[in-house]
C-alpha cells in the first residue's frame, strides 16, 4: 500500500476560504440559499474565456489552481472530479429553452456545458493535461468516490500527483423544486443555528473544493489520507458497528479518534444518524460540523475534507464549527462521516503526518 498525502488545498465556498484566514471571519446568512463568495476570477482566468465558462467551471478552475499551487505542482498525473449535478445552470437553461421555444432556436453552448464532466475537462484543457480524467456523479458520495479512485491510482503506480475535487453550483429552478418537496427548509432558517434546527430539510450551498494528493510527503503536507469507504444503504442501528469495523480494518479504535467531522445539515429527520454517534461511541470525542458554513450540496463533504485537513495541519479548531467542547489535544486521527437523507454514507480517516 502506498501512502496518500494531501499536499495542497483550494476552496471556493460561501465562506472567505480563498483568503488567508482560517474561518476567523464567518459569513452569516439569513436565507436558505448560500452563494459562494466569488473570488476575483480575473486573477485566474482571462476575461474572454471566463465569459464562456459556467459558474461551476470557473469555481473549479480557481479551486484547482489554488490546490496545485499550494502543492507546487504544475500538471497532475490524473484529474478526478466529483459533482452531483454538473453545470446545473446550463442544464436548466437548455431544458427551459427547449420547452419555452418548442425545440426551436436553440444554441449548443448550454448543452455542451451541461455535460457532467465539463469541469474536469475544462481543467484538463487549461492545464493541457492529457492524463486520466474521471468524473463521479453519485449524489453525496461523488467526492469520496474520487478519493477511492485516487488511492488505487497510487497503488497501481499510475500517478504520483492527483488533482481531486468536488464541485456543484446552485440552479434556481432546481432549488425551487427542492424547496417545494421540503429538501430545502420551508422557513428561512439561515445558518446561525443550523445544528439546533427542529424542522425538516436543509439549507443549500454551492462550492468547489480541490486538493492535490501525492504519494510523497512534503514539508507542506496537510495530512495523510488513510482510508475511505462508501455505503449506499446503512441503517442507524448498524452505523456504530460499521464505523468500528472500518476503524479496526485500519488498526484504529474509537479511542484513537481525536476528532470527528460530521455532515449535520440541520434536517431533523436525518441528523439523527449523527446524533447516534455524537451521543454514542464518540460522546467523549471532539466533534465538529460545517454545513452551516458551506450549505448542503452533493459535494459539500469535500468542504468537510478541507476543514479536517486544515485543522490537522494547524492543530486548531475554529470556534464556530465545534459541536461540543472537549479539552484541547493533539488532533492526530480524524474521522469524517457524512450522509444525505439517510443514503450514500461515507467514512474517511485522515491522519497527521
Q: Which residues bind another protein (CB under 8 A)?
A: 79, 84-86, 91, 94-96, 98-99, 102-104, 106-108, 111-112, 114-118, 120-122, 124-125, 127-139, 141-142, 145, 148-149, 152, 155-156, 173-174, 176-178, 180-181, 183, 229-234, 298, 343-344
Q: Which is nearer to another protein, 26 or 131 (CB)?
A: 131
Q: Which is nearer to another protein, 256 or 343 (CB)?
A: 343
Closest CB 116 distance from another protein, rounded Å: 4
Task: Report d(CA 256, CA 275) in Å as an integer.
Answer: 20
Q: Which is nearer to another protein, 36 or 79 (CB)?
A: 79
Closest CB 89 distance from another protein, rounded Å: 14
Please identify which residue in the block is written with the cell numbers 491522519.
Answer: 351
Closest CB 104 distance from another protein, rounded Å: 7
Closest CB 221 distance from another protein, rounded Å: 24
Q: Which is nearer to another protein, 179 or 332 (CB)?
A: 179
Q: Which is nearer to another protein, 158 or 316 (CB)?
A: 158
Q: How many CB atoms lie within 10 A of CB 110?
A: 19
Residue 263 in contact with residue 291, Cβ under 8 Å? yes
Q: Which is nearer to another protein, 112 or 323 (CB)?
A: 112
Closest CB 111 distance from another protein, rounded Å: 4
Closest CB 84 distance from another protein, rounded Å: 6
Closest CB 78 distance from another protein, rounded Å: 9
Residue 232 in contact with residue 343, Cβ under 8 Å? yes
Question: 184: which 3 cell numbers?
Answer: 430545502
Task: Report d(CA 55, CA 253) in Å as an integer.
Answer: 42
Residue 124 in contact with residue 111, Cβ under 8 Å? no
Closest CB 138 distance from another protein, rounded Å: 4
Q: Which is nearer to another protein, 79 or 317 (CB)?
A: 79
CA angle 26, 32, 36 (to 5 degrees): 50
Residue 56 in contact with residue 86, Cβ under 8 Å? yes
Q: Which is nearer to another protein, 117 or 326 (CB)?
A: 117
Amino acid at each position: 500500500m502506498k501512502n496518500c498525502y494531501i499536499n495542497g488545498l483550494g476552496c471556493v465556498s460561501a465562506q472567505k476560504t480563498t483568503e488567508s484566514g482560517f474561518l476567523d471571519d464567518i459569513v452569516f446568512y439569513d436565507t436558505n440559499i448560500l452563494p459562494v463568495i466569488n473570488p476575483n476570477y480575473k486573477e485566474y482566468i482571462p476575461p474572454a474565456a471566463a465569459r464562456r465558462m459556467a459558474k461551476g467551471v470557473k469555481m473549479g478552475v480557481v479551486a484547482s489552481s489554488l490546490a496545485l499551487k499550494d502543492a507546487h505542482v504544475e500538471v497532475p498525473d490524473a484529474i478526478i472530479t466529483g459533482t452531483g449535478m454538473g453545470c446545473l445552470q446550463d442544464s436548466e437553461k437548455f431544458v427551459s429553452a427547449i420547452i419555452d421555444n418548442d425545440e426551436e432556436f436553440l444554441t449548443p453552448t448550454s448543452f455542451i456545458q451541461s455535460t457532467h464532466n465539463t469541469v474536469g475537462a475544462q481543467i484538463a484543457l487549461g492545464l493541457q493535461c492529457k492524463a486520466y480524467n474521471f468524473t463521479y456523479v453519485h449524489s453525496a458520495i461523488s467526492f469520496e468516490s474520487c478519493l477511492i479512485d485516487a488511492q488505487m491510482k497510487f497503488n497501481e503506480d499510475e500517478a504520483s500527483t492527483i488533482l481531486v475535487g468536488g464541485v456543484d453550483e446552485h440552479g434556481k429552478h432546481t432549488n425551487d423544486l427542492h424547496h417545494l418537496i421540503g429538501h430545502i427548509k420551508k422557513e428561512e432558517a439561515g445558518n446561525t443555528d443550523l445544528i439546533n434546527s427542529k424542522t425538516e430539510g436543509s439549507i443549500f450551498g454551492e462550492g468547489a473544493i480541490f486538493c492535490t494528493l501525492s504519494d510523497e510527503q512534503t514539508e507542506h503536507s496537510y495530512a495523510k489520507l488513510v482510508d475511505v469507504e462508501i455505503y449506499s444503504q446503512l441503517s442507524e442501528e448498524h452505523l456504530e458497528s460499521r464505523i468500528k469495523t472500518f476503524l479496526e480494518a485500519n488498526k484504529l479504535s474509537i479511542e484513537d479518534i481525536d476528532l470527528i467531522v460530521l455532515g449535520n445539515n440541520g434536517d431533523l429527520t436525518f441528523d439523527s444518524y449523527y446524533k447516534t454517534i455524537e451521543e454514542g461511541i464518540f460522546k467523549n470525542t471532539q466533534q465538529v460540523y460545517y454545513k452551516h458554513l458551506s450549505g448542503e450540496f452533493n459535494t459539500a463533504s469535500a468542504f468537510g475534507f478541507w476543514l479536517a485537513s486544515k485543522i490537522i495541519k494547524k492543530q486548531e479548531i475554529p470556534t464556530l464549527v465545534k459541536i461540543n467542547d472537549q479539552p484541547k489535544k493533539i488532533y492526530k486521527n480524524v474521522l469524517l462521516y457524512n450522509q444525505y437523507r439517510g443514503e450514500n454514507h461515507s467514512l474517511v480517516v485522515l491522519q497527521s503526518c
